[in-house]
Structure 1
């Protein structure tokens, strides 16, 4: 389920952000709409939980301006994370998308030291070195194939930095919402909803919105009186319906990725989830390469393999360190509640929920 939702979301967003058939170049508006869908789903599920408490549970979402203002600094990082993430996807091929954002682990190590003053062991640093080597190999090969976008690469690095910073600062944001991941998601998306409106105005995307496909256009009105406009009406209505359907699906899948991530961690473990996410990215890369029919060199695949191997090794090393630290702090066997910090960090910092 996690693989299906995550991979589908990436390909849907790629179509929305870079397909010429959409007739609109408005990445901020597209992401703004997805935030709106997430907010509506959070409110809807919260209300349903009140009516059907025995069927499923969802936290209450009482909005507070004071809480929203406190979370705003974190929301700004969240805003940057999803903007750069989608812009990276817009300018780069899906097959290179994973590698372009693969330095998140490296930034985690750097920012953990700079912000939290925590040092990282030699084994973890060695894993980061493997990731960097694979990243550089893939970048040089992608450039040699003539399919590298420097702008997309910069957006990918920016997204990696934002994701890393968000994951580190998330614990502070959770303190304002009683440790609830869903409440934090709710506030982050509301704040980002407002930030996107400002961004849309400042980047002059308002002019692009004039080209948004509409399910019912002027042609549909004229077709009532002029038969020759009927074909135009049918075509424009189809394009508009398909576009808005994809927009809605992307918003639903963006919300669903948080749920399936939580579910996967609950039924497996944080380590298994991290390895599953990396393996999913590898499969996503292979699928994208097959769909695009772009030739990739042996060194290109080697670079990708190094990034995957380094990421899995790092997840394993960090898991062993965390297990050792918890064993020293809590000699007793871990209860189910001890999984909460792992669950919250994985869900809140997952960049693919943002779409």
Structure 2
């Protein structure tokens, strides 16, 4: 794989490019998901198509020698059942939340990820938090409360799915940490198992949700042209879903978890602007203030954890927010041992 030096890039330029690549791909994913759902409301079929494309691209990458993927083993799959359950539920409620709320309000509806992460880190892992971290969580909660209570036409169902999404996202990092051991700490192997098994788990949901019947009904009444936009969006989101995973791995290999969280905050701002300019979302003063508080709380959390690391002068004690954060821990350990 090409390195920054082989491409004639400085380390700083490589960091800027990888962070930019991550934010652009993630934003395109949100935009295309909303595009597909606006065309036709098939959230579970959309997820199914995205995971199918991800599995196909992972297989093609394996054939091309980019990296190797494992053969599915029953004992490993059994050990990963909790991860698959959380992943399918999380992806489902994420998409349902986006279905019922505006793109710009999506940031608020899923705004409780940080508070739930801190709560679960303490209750499930026994990791206490400093007073500064608790202040950041309170700031985020105030942003969520402000954004939700000041909206007149907000979908209560969308907010509910957003809260559930925050919970599943928070639990996801904890489950991933326990699941890595089942695949010899290989993030690529875990990604393949995750996509392949989630694809299988989502298949019956597509039928049980009634979406398969809706597809047959539309095909009978409107023909294949009714799905042109939806299929196009599925293809784009499937490809960019794969690229988001790749971008995440690239970003965390070039940056720190702090940078990853900061880029996430910047992405939240850009996502709000995307909703305003691309989808005509209304940006009320309450919504804007709520988003500012949520992003400020996230930024203050980053500052608080950075202060803790400097004070301890030891291995970072931040709470992993994503799979990439966990991968970065592993990389730091390798570098330290070398």
Q: Report the TM-score, using the length of structure 1 for normalisation.
A: 0.79
Moved more, 120-129 or 298-307: 298-307
Q: Give the equivalent residue in structure 2 for 1:71.
A: 80
Q: Is the 8 A contact 1:89 1:152 kept in 2?
A: yes
Q: Are 1:204 and 2:210 matched, yes or no? A: yes
1:1-355 equivalences under 5 Å are 1-17=21-37, 19=38, 21-22=39-40, 25-49=41-65, 57-142=66-151, 144=152, 146=153, 148-211=154-217, 240-322=227-309, 324-325=311-312, 327-328=313-314, 342=325, 344=327
Q: CA deviation at 1:281?
A: 0.9
In 2: Cα distance, 1:303 partner to 1:242 partner: 33
Q: CA deviation at 1:270?
A: 1.7
Report how many aligned residue pairs link the two structures: 303
Secondary structure, counterpart of 1:118 in structure 2: coil
Q: Report the TM-score, using the length of structure 2 for normalisation.
A: 0.83
In 2: Cα distance, 1:109 partner to 1:239 partner: 44
In 2: Cα distance, 1:33 partner to 1:259 partner: 18
In 2: Cα distance, 1:27 partner to 1:341 partner: 26
Moved more, 309-318 or 82-91: 309-318
Q: Is the 8 A contact 2:251 2:260 kept in 1?
A: yes
Closer, same or farther: CA 63–130 of 1 in aligned 2, 3 Å: same
Closer, same or farther: CA 295–163 of 1 in aligned 2, 3 Å: closer
Secondary structure, counterpart of 1:207 in structure 2: helix
Closer, same or farther: CA 123–189 of 1 in aligned 2, 3 Å: same
In 1: Cα distance, 2:98 partner to 2:282 partner: 19
In 2: Cα distance, 1:173 partner to 1:65 partner: 15
Q: CA deviation at 1:59?
A: 2.8
Secondary structure, counterpart of 2:210 in structure 1: coil
**Structure 1 residue runs without a partner (length 5+):** 50-56, 220-231, 331-339, 347-355
**Structure 2 residue runs without a partner (length 5+):** 1-20, 317-322, 330-338
Q: CA deviation at 1:33?
A: 1.2
Question: Higher Cα Rg: structure 1 or 2?
Answer: 1
Closer, same or farther: CA 58–322 of 1 in aligned 2, 3 Å: farther
